[in-house]
Amino acid sequence: MALFRGQTFTGIVVSRKNYKERDMLVRILTSSFGFKTFFVRGVRKRGFKWGAGIIPFTKATYIGDISTTGLSFITNVSDAEQYQNIVEDITLNAYATYILELSRVAFGDDDQLAIKWYATIEQALFLINQGLDPLIITSVIELQMLQLFGVQPELKHCVICQQNDRPMDFSEEYGGLLCQRHWQLDPNRLHLTPRTVLFMQRLAAVNLHKVSAIRVRPETKADLHHALDQIYYDMVGIYIPAKRFLSKLMRTHIRPLAPRTKNNTTD
Ligand SMILES: [Zn+2]
């Protein structure tokens, strides 16, 4: 076990729990070391200085001692900023929690992967906090993370004839899109609307740092949610507990759409 002293990094607080009488274990997704658990002493003592920096869904700059395998330590916190809307809104909170849980599973012990993805995760939370549709932002992450699970569906064109000018559907059996002419090959294709498929193609390639608004019809969102659930369940083979709550939300409530602006992504 190595300890790297006096490291400066940014991080997003994922969760925390009490430890002994006055201390806490705080889980942080860090920009430079992946997910780390920090032992923070004296949190529940009067006069504790970094209260704002260890609340879940806070982004801050930290200085600390990083352990490769054991507990790490925080020695200073600055520029703590809370994702206020995510903290206060149960729906946004559920989506953000799911993104962080999915990331944890996708990265595993691969800190280099976590470092590579950190800015994207941070941007996803930023956009959700700004009021962009959380289901769409989450779908972007789900689509783009498929490759981390060794699943790389062909989303550019039909897997059989390489055409992209007919209505398309998604086939798990064929590992990607089938055009209408080849639909008969897979009766268990997902039966998505062509509009949903078009949107999936777009989201799989979108750069979250360039998105400022997204407009999607509720029925397309429901279809997209269903498709990604199915793909993660069947092709990836994982089920993140936080997703169950999202599915329940999906059935009862669809959030209002964000306003359209000039660099929007729209269906
Ligand atoms: Zn075809």
Q: What is the pLDDT of residue 17?
A: 95
Q: Quick one: average pLDDT of 101-123?
A: 97
- Shortest CA distance to 117 belongs to which of 103, 130, 98? 103
C-alpha of residue 194 to centroid of ligand 1, in Å: 14
CATH class of 86-266: mainly alpha
Sequence ranges of the chain with CATH classification 2.40.50.140 = 3-82
C-alpha of residue 181 to centroid of ligand 1, in Å: 6
Q: What is the pLDDT of residues 49-88, one digit of tens each?
A: 889 999 999 999 999 999 998 999 999 999 999 999 999 9
72 conformational bin, left if phi > 0, alpha if psi -120 to 50, beta if neither: beta
**Please, which pLDDT band fits residue 241 given cuts at 50, 70 and 90?**
confident
Percent of the chain predicted with pLDDT > 70 = 94
Does domain 3-82 match CATH 3.40.309.10? no
C-alpha of residue 193 to centroid of ligand 1, in Å: 16
Q: For residue 90, is pLDDT > 70?
A: yes
Q: Which residue pairs from 228-231 have beta carbons closer than 8 angstroms and sit at least 24 positions apart in sequence? A: 228/139, 228/142, 228/143, 230/172, 230/190, 231/146, 231/151, 231/153, 231/170, 231/172
Q: What is the pLDDT of residues 210-221, one digit of tens each?
A: 998 888 999 999
Sequence ranges of the chain with CATH classification 1.20.1440.120 = 86-266
C-alpha of residue 231 to centroid of ligand 1, in Å: 20
Q: Which amino acid is at 166?
A: R
C-alpha of residue 138 to centroid of ligand 1, in Å: 29
Q: For residue 264, is pLDDT > 60?
A: no
Mean confidence (pLDDT) of the chain: 92
Burial of 202 (0-12, 13-18, 19+ CB in 10 A): middle
220 conformational bin, left if phi > 0, alpha if psi -120 to 50, beta if neither: alpha
Q: What is the pLDDT of residue 254?
A: 52
Neighbours of ion ligand 1 (CB under 5 A): 158, 160-161, 179, 182
Q: What is the pLDDT of residue 259?
A: 40
C-alpha of residue 161 to centroid of ligand 1, in Å: 4
Residue 20 CA to residue 218 CA, distance in Å, equals 47
Q: What is the pLDDT of residues 169-211, one digit of tens each?
A: 999 999 999 999 999 999 999 999 999 999 999 999 999 999 9
C-alpha of residue 100 to centroid of ligand 1, in Å: 36
Percent of the chain predicted with pLDDT > 90 = 82
C-alpha of residue 184 to centroid of ligand 1, in Å: 10
